[in-house]
Amino acid sequence: MADIVLDKVGKQYPDGTVAVRDVDLEIADGEFVILVGPSGCGKSTLLNMIAGLEDISSGELRIGGERMNEKAPRDRDIAMVFQSYALYPNMTVRENMAFPLRLAKLDKATIDEKVAEAAKVLELTELLERKPANLSGGQRQRVAMGRAIVRSPKAFLMDEPLSNLDAKLRVQMRTVVSRLQKRLGTTTVYVTHDQTEAMTLGDRVVVLRAGVVQQVGDPQTLYDHPANLFVAGFIGSPAMNFLSARALDGALRTALGDVPIGDRLRGMLERGEAPQEMILGVRPEHFEDAALVDEAARAKGREFEAPVELVESMGSDKYVYLTVEGERASSAELEELAADAGAADLPAGGANLVTRLSAESRVREGGPYKVWFNLEKIHLFDPSDGRNITLHEGRAAGIS
Amino acid sequence: MESRGAKWRWGLLDVVVVVFALIPVLWIMSLSFKTTNTLTDGHFIPREWTLENYKTIFQTDQFVRALVNSIGIALISTLIAVVLGTMAAYAIARLDFPGKGLLVGVSLLIAMFPQVSLVSPLFDIERRLGLFDTWPGLILPYITFALPLTIYTLSAFFKQIPWDLEKAAKMDGATQGEAFRKVIAPLAAPGVFTTAILAFIFCWNDFLFAISLTSTERSRTVPVALSFFTGDSQFEDPTGSISAAAVVITVPIILFVLFFQRRIVSGLTSGAVKG
């Protein structure tokens, strides 16, 4: 076991494309770190560089305090689980798991013992004599994990290990991975494009965009205090709502009505630290049925009325889709996020608002409905560079 | 599901093709069992059966020597072509090096080059180098023409093997060589055997180079030796012994294919990646 330190690590291909730019990251011994981002953000490249499967163009990689840049993968003593599992099809499950031990030239008794132990942990004992072709997707995935844990490496690298499983199995395996990592206490770097996996699995999450680290932090911090528009839009499901907002006469004009501006923001506007045109971000759960909000809470927020387009009742709560007038917020980050979610070609129209209301709400489709939202939880972003204006000393401060 | 009518039509077509291909073979076999007197009687099934033709060819030194030459030359050429081809194909499938497209293009060009136009230059070259009428004199051109075929088919096979397997092997602690020997090579085996069969058949069947680049029994191969068959006397027809020899030389090919066929297990890579 060891810590992993990335010191200004970068990757540039011979044709000039930069896949990863100056990544600084310290992963503590035993920590579970998630690299997350849309496809093509450089997360897999970064993982392959830690593994030694791709050369590091600049910066330094240290594992357990030792420089690893020039070392071959076999000398780094780290194991990797591939998205495709990459099981050796000509070998049985037992031979697959024994392969790294055989290469390490351990004696047969030790190999048998270690394989049996790993097989027990992953409930593979009955499958040891089977070939990968005769295993289900979930079983193959477990064999791939078994091959990684069997030789107790310094660190695990996982490249979207669950993305080929069906939804139900993925949720199950997520807990298996999590428990396994806690039990073994091995430093783990896990790559995924699924923000739910990132939120649920990791001690810390690294959000990457176009090879640049956007924010590093524990899942709750990323969720509550996103550093920029990209992180705000990427983390959370359903995603944060974005609306355009304009500062005018001491108030913020938005499609949800006028919002008073606090002292801090006014000061920033006066000093030119914040633009007049901004993007307002509100998470779906920070809305509530106005009829259900008590007097004390009402003062902290604002009410507005909008036609209800669709109601999805989840039992525990209701997703209500509202149509509000006004321009759709636009920026490079939002377009990228929409493209990644495949939503770029959804029909345009009034800005659609996703809200999550209590299950007791009597909201009906069709007519207009009164909805309240919490002013303390809103974010404002600068459309030009995406930075979170409401972030004060790393915490989201609302528009106070 | 196809309709019954379509199935019948396809079945009939298959039968026609098979019969069309097999009749000449059966005819040759029939001729090889006929006696000299009944050779030309036109019956498909011999009226008088004899093994005399087979005895004759194995009694003549001419045929046995040619058989030894054929087996030796074809095996050596196949072996060298497959070993070189495997290495080249692996490089082509895995690496991006400058001039890769050109290399593949040129090797295909060689395969398409009309061999007959090379015969005279080769004849001159080999005579000056002292290769004329020797085993290497045939092995070299055979390798040259078998290599493009092996490189091309093998690189297609290597491309099918998921690259992740090699990465996984490296992560598991294998060197580049170990990854190739223990993971990639076993998976490429069906491709290697298929290619070996094709290369062997090419070398075995060649007549053009064999007749132009040999002059004595020292290195004459069977297809050429057949054309030099004569009867016991000027007036005797050698058709019977030629037929017998033709039947005999198809046997190694059949054995070769049967032997390697068992290794050509389809779907060997299934189960390697996702599901």
What CATH number has the domain bearing residue A243?
2.40.50.140
Q: Are B273 and A90 inside 8 Å of each other by CB? A: no
The answer to whether position B103 is within a domain reads yes
Per-residue pLDDT of chain A (400 residues; tens, 9 = 90+): 689 999 999 999 988 899 999 999 999 999 999 999 988 899 999 999 999 999 999 999 999 999 999 999 999 999 999 999 999 998 999 999 999 999 999 999 999 999 999 999 999 999 999 999 899 989 999 999 999 999 899 999 999 999 888 989 999 999 999 999 999 999 999 999 988 899 999 999 999 999 999 999 999 999 999 999 999 999 988 889 998 888 888 888 888 888 888 888 888 888 888 888 899 999 999 999 999 998 888 888 889 999 998 899 999 999 999 988 777 777 888 888 877 766 544 444 455 889 999 999 988 888 899 999 998 888 999 988 889 988 877 777 776 6
SS3 of chain A: CCCEEEEEEEEECCCCCEEEEEEEEEECCCCEEEEECCCCCCHHHHHHHHHCCCCCCEEEEEECCEECCCCCHHHCCEEEECCCCCCCCCCCHHHHHHHHHHHCCCCHHHHHHHHHHHHHHCCCHHHCCCCHHHCCHHHHHHHHHHHHHCCCCCEEEEECCCCCCCHHHHHHHHHHHHHHHHHHCCEEEEEECCHHHHHHHCCEEEEEECCEEEEEECHHHHHHCCCEHHHHHHCCCCCCEEEEEEEECCEEEECCEEEECCHHHHHHHHCCCCCCEEEEEECHHHEEEHHHCCHHHHCCEEEEEEEEEEEEECCCEEEEEEEECCCECCCHHHHHHHHHHCCCCCCCCCEEEEEEEECCCCCCCCCEEEEEEEHHHCEEECCCCCEECCEECCEECCCC
What CATH number has the domain bearing residue B186?
1.10.3720.10
Q: Are B171 and A137 inside 8 Å of each other by CB? A: no
Domain termination residue (choose one: A194, A229, A264) = A229
- pTM comes to 0.79
Partners of residue B187 in chain A, C-beta under 8 Å: 89-90
Q: Are B271 and A86 inside 8 Å of each other by CB? A: no
Strand partners, A302: A373
What CATH number has the domain bearing residue A134?
3.40.50.300
Say how many domains are in chain B: 1
Claim to verify: residue A374 and residue A337 sit in the same structural domain: yes
Nearest to B275 among A74, A88, A137 (CB): A137
Rounded distance, CA A141 to CA A124, Å? 11
Say what the pLDDT of residue A53 is: 92
Domain extent for A64:
4-229
The answer to whether position B170 is within a domain reads yes
Nearest to B275 among A51, A80, A136 (CB): A136
Say what the pLDDT of residue A24 is: 95
Residues of B in CB contact (< 8 Å) with A are 162, 164-165, 167-175, 178, 182-183, 186-187, 267-275
Nearest to B271 among A99, A104, A135 (CB): A135
Closest Cα in chain B, distance from residue A106 (Å): 13
CA nearest neighbour of A91 among B124, B172, B154: B172
Q: Are B275 and A140 inside 8 Å of each other by CB? A: yes
The answer to whether position B83 is within a domain reads yes
Return the residue of B nearest to A132 by Cα: B271
Query: Which two tokens mark A188?
Result: 């783990």
Query: Which of A132-146, A305-319, B152-166, B261-275 is predicted with the least confidence, judged by mean pLDDT?
Result: B261-275
Q: Are B268 and A89 inside 8 Å of each other by CB? A: yes
Closest Cα in chain A, distance from residue B220 (Å): 43
The answer to whether position B267 is within a domain reads no
The answer to whether position B32 is within a domain reads no
Are the C-beta atoms of B123 and B213 separated by less than 8 Å?
yes
Claim to verify: residue A50 and residue A176 sit in the same structural domain: yes
Rounded distance, CA B138 to CA B115, Å? 13
Q: Are A74 and B274 inside 8 Å of each other by CB? A: no
Rounded distance, CA A119 to CA A117, Å? 5
Partners of residue B170 in chain A, C-beta under 8 Å: 52-53, 72-74
Report residue B275's pLDDT band, with 50, 70 and 90 as the boundaries. very low
Mean pLDDT of B70-98: 92
Claim to verify: residue A222 and residue A367 sit in the same structural domain: no
Query: Which two tokens mark B245?
Result: 């020899």
Mutation pick from B97, B161, B163, B167 vs chain A, by most beta carbons of A within 10 Å, is B167
Nearest to A103 among B164, B172, B270 (CB): B172
Return the residue of A nearest to B164 by Cα: A86
Domain termination residue (choose one: A170, A194, A229) = A229
Claim to verify: residue A42 and residue A111 sit in the same structural domain: yes
Helix ranges (H only) for B113-221 are: 116-129, 135-160, 163-171, 176-178, 185-205, 208-212
Say how many domains are in chain A: 2
Closest Cα in chain A, distance from residue B155 (Å): 20
Length of chain B: 275
Claim to verify: residue A95 and residue A130 sit in the same structural domain: yes
The shares of helix, strand and coil residues in chain B, as percent rounded to the nearest 5, are 75, 0, 25
ipTM of the complex: 0.82
Q: Are A84 and B267 inside 8 Å of each other by CB? A: no
Rounded distance, CA B133 to CA A183, Å? 73
Say what the pLDDT of residue B57 is: 85
Partners of residue A159 in chain B, C-beta under 8 Å: none
Mutation pick from A90, A95, A159, A162 vs chain B, by most beta carbons of B within 10 Å, is A90
Domain extent for B106:
59-261
Q: How far apart are the first and last CA of chain B?
A: 26
The answer to whether position B226 is within a domain reads yes
Q: Are A84 and B272 inside 8 Å of each other by CB? A: yes
Interface of A with B in 337-396 (CB under 8 A): none
Partners of residue A73 in chain B, C-beta under 8 Å: 167, 170-171
Contacts of A259 (CB under 8 A, 6+ apart): A245, A251, A252, A280, A302, A375, A378, A399
Mean pLDDT of B203-208: 91
Say what the pLDDT of residue B274 is: 46
Mutation pick from A15, A47, A77, A84 vs chain B, by most beta carbons of B within 10 Å, is A84
Say what the pLDDT of residue B267 is: 44
- Using a 10 angstrom Cβ sphere, with 0-12 exposed, 13-18 middle and 19 or more buried, the burial of residue B266 is exposed
Are the C-beta atoms of A378 and A355 separated by less than 8 Å?
no
Backbone φ, ψ for residue A97 (5° rounding)? -75, -30
Residue with tokens 């199995």: A169
Which residue pairs, CB below 8 angstroms and at least 24 apart, start in B102-111?
B104/B151, B104/B152, B104/B155, B107/B147, B107/B148, B107/B151, B107/B152, B108/B148, B108/B152, B110/B144, B110/B145, B110/B147, B110/B148, B111/B145, B111/B148, B111/B149, B111/B152
Say what the pLDDT of residue A4 is: 94
Rounded distance, CA A394 to CA A317, Å? 31
Are the C-beta atoms of B65 and B75 separated by less than 8 Å?
no
The answer to whether position B25 is within a domain reads no
**Interface residue A55 vs chain B (CB under 8 A):** no
More confident call, B10 vs A269: B10
Return the residue of A nearest to B183 by Cα: A88
- Residue B261 DSSP label: H
Rounded distance, CA A286 to CA A371, Å? 10
